[in-house]
């Protein structure tokens, strides 16, 4: 269940942590955080800020944190806006696994109908360059080592 707090003109959304799980994979030990957020655009930024604090606690800074954060924000926006269509009855589930070796695995799931990844237009194509939207998937693929849908 999410709680909203009004701070000046800004709405802060708190979510309950489902689990922080210390585990060991075949690769190396890791810590996993599972949370959910409401399908509200206003929830994306505070949620991403909190999740990035978690990431910073479990990995050494190497400059890739900005890439991780941008990809996370794009995935959250796509899930809230396109997947759940900002339906207040739907939630976005997020799992963040931080390996002690520095690897970060993020899983963002929504309650939408899904989409055909290959149908997303190429934002670098000349006819799409001036669009003000449609770059989220491209950014995620460019900034991350691996992206799966």
Instruction: Name the burial class of residue 41, with classes exposed (0-12), middle (13-18) and buried (19+) by CB atoms within 10 angstroms of its CB.
Output: exposed
List the one residue out of 69, 67, 8, 12 whose CA is nearest residue 40.
Answer: 12
Residue 149 lies inside a defined structural domain of this protein: no
pLDDT of residue 24: 58
CATH code assigned at 51: 3.30.565.10
Pairing of strands 10-14, 19-24: unpaired
pLDDT of residue 121: 84
> Measured between alpha carbons, how far is 78 from 85 in angstroms, rounded to an integer?
9
The 8-class DSSP code of residue 28 comes to: -
Residue 1 lies inside a defined structural domain of this protein: no
Residue 3 lies inside a defined structural domain of this protein: no
Q: Collect the ranges in the chain with pLDDT lower than 50.
A: 1-19
List the one residue out of 15, 55, 53 whose CA is nearest residue 32.
Answer: 55
pLDDT of residue 86: 97
Question: How far, CA to CA in Å, does 88 sit from each of 12, 37, 101?
Answer: 16, 10, 37
pLDDT of residue 23: 60
Helix, strand or coil for residue 34?
A: strand
Domain with 48, as residue range(s), is 13-143
Residue 30 lies inside a defined structural domain of this protein: yes
- Span 75-97, pLDDT tens digits: 999 999 999 999 999 999 999 99
pLDDT of residue 2: 37
Residue 66 lies inside a defined structural domain of this protein: yes
């Amino acid at each position: 269940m999410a709680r909203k707090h009004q701070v000046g003109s800004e709405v802060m959304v708190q979510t309950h942590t489902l689990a922080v799980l210390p585990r060991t994979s075949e690769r190396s030990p890791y810590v996993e955080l599972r949370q959910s957020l409401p399908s509200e655009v206003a929830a994306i930024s505070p949620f991403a800020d909190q999740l990035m604090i978690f990431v910073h606690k479990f990995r050494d800074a190497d400059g890739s944190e900005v890439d991780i954060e941008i990809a996370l924000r794009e995935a959250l926006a796509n899930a809230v806006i396109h997947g759940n269509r900002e339906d207040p009855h739907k939630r976005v589930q997020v799992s963040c696994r931080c390996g002690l070796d520095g690897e970060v695995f993020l899983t963002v799931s929504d309650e939408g109908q899904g989409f055909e990844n290959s149908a997303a237009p190429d934002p670098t194509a000349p006819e799409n360059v001036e669009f003000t939207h449609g770059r989220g998937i491209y950014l995620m693929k460019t900034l991350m080592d691996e992206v799966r849908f």
